[in-house]
Structure formats: C-alpha cells, structure tokens
Amino acid sequence: MRQADQARARLIVTADDFGLHPAVNEAVEQACRSGVLRAASLMVAGPAAADAISRAQDLPGLAVGLHLVLADGKAMLPPEQIPDLVDAQGRFDSAMVRNGVRFFFLPKVRTQLAAEIRAQFEAFAASGLTLDHVNAHKHFHLHPTVLSLILSIGREFGLRAVRLPAEPGMGPWLRPWLRLMSWRLDRAGIVYNDHVFGLRHSGGMHEGVLLELLQRLPHGLSELYLHPATHGGLTPGMADYRHADELAALLSPRVRSAILSRYQLCNGFGDPAARR
C-alpha cells in the first residue's frame, strides 16, 4: 500500500464480549485508558453487564455498541417467553445452522427471536449509554432474518452502524452473503466498515499478529476486534483464547506507534472520520 493510501486509511479498534466477565471489563478499561482501544461491544445479558455499564459511564472516550447474543450465551428474556430459543436455564445453544433454518422457516420461532432482539435493544437503552454500533456474537447478524430484525427494531433505538464481518481472504461461499448484507445496509442508510480483522485469528490477536496486520491494512475503514481480558479460562468455549496477550497487544507501545504513524484511529463508528 502506498504511504498516501495508508494516511487516508481509518481504523476502529474494538473489544467484543464486554460484560461477559469482570476480567473482560477490567481489560477494556485498561486498554481504553492506557492503550489503543476506542470501542467495545456490550453483552447486555452477560454476567458482568452491570459492572461493564458502570465502567463505560466513566470512560467518555469509549464508544459502546450492542453485542447481540443469539448463540452460545444468556438470553435477556426468561425461558418461558422464548421456549423455542433457549434451554431451561435461559441459554442459547451453539447449533447455529439448525437455528438459522428455524429462524427463517418457523414463524413462531421468528416471533420469539424478534422479542429477544427487542429486549436486548431495550436493555442497552436502559443503560443510558449512546448506541455506537451493533454486531452479533459469532457474527449471527449475517443471517438475513437476524439482520432484518436488527434493522427494523434497531431503527427505534437509534441504530446507526453495524459491523460487516468481511475479512480479506475469506472463503468465496461467504461473498454472496456479504454482498447482500452490504446492499441492505446501504439501503437502510447504516454505516459499516469496509474490512474487519479478527475472524481468522479469533482469540489470538496478540502483539505479533497486530503488528503484521498493521503493515498492510487496506484503504477505507477497517475494524480490528479482539477479546481482551486480564486472565484466561473465562468460558469452556474460549479455553484456548489468549485473552491476556490480546490485552497486552492493546497496551503495546509498538502497536500504538504502528497505528498512529499510518492510520486515523476513530472513536467508534460514531466518529465523523468513520463516516467519510
């Protein structure tokens, strides 16, 4: 990439799973105060959501969005209101292909899905935080039904931006879905990123990976997303995640220098620079 192009490239650095665990919340606060983190995506039904909201209210430099959980996590509504979506403990499973088919073909399931998505938007609104963006745990918002509900319900809650999970080099089978998603976001007037980085190295966005990525970010608006925490062992599904190494990367002077020397670091999707 030519230096002139690099100077125009813009970057958002985001932490996902804000509210999952106090160790995540502490990492987000550290990385915002002393590192390059400028955005976080909040799990409103997460076990540590109240702590995350309290910290975010004291971090005016942190843009917070909704990390919609519809798989492998806790629902906002009680199980009796969404019995076709969750188990008796109110948790979604990880069978995303099966559930995606059910979302599309079963009106009863779709009605419950809409109610849960609305409940998560309402919980975010009740936090008093400004909604910077929306994305979904495990990128379930790629599903056309989920995206439709996000767009229709989110409009009532000031939805302005959505993550497009388009990482350079992704499999060709995803490209039609991404084209459809970007077309729908354009039609709805929703801001989105041109590129995302974090899919291929999910849980392993350590300093070396970030420094390599930062040598060659493409022109436009890129989003780097990570899963920082002060320690590991947060959930069984994240047993191999290098949470503490990702926090160290966000605090790294070398990463800071690489970003500030090449790119315009944006304070979330609401930053005017992110909308150019």
The amino acid at 45: A
Over residues 214-226, mean pLDDT: 96
Sign for the CA dihedral angle at 60, 65, 71, 74 comes to positive
pLDDT digits (tens, 9 = 90+) for 221-268: 999 999 999 999 999 999 999 999 999 999 999 999 999 999 999 999
**Full residue range of the structural domain in which residue 203 is found:** 3-275
Which two tokens mark 136? 């979904």
Phi, psi values for residue 194, rounded to 5°: -80, -35
**CA-CA distance, 177 to 34, in Å (whole number)?**
37
Mean of the per-residue pLDDT values of the chain: 95
What is the predicted pLDDT for the residue at 208? 98
Which of 118-146 are b and which e, b meaning 16 or more Cβ less than 10 Å from the residue's Cβ?
A: bbbbebbeebebebbbbbbbbbbbbbebb
| DSSP, residue by residue, 97-143 | HHHHHHHHH-HHHHHHHHHHHHHHHHHHHHTT-----EEEGGGGGGS
Residue 241: left (phi > 0), alpha (psi -120 to 50), or beta?
A: beta
pLDDT band for position 66 (cuts 50, 70, 90): very high
- What's the CA gap between 73 and 94, in Å, rounded? 9
For the chain, the maximum distance between any two Cα atoms, rounded to a whole number of angstroms, is 57
How high is the pLDDT of residue 3?
Answer: 37
DSSP run (H or E) holding 195: strand 195-197
For the chain, the residue count is 276
Check residue 77 and give its pLDDT. Answer: 98
CATH number, residue 18? 3.20.20.370
Looking at the structure of the chain, the number of domains it has is 1
pLDDT at residue 6, rounded to an integer: 40
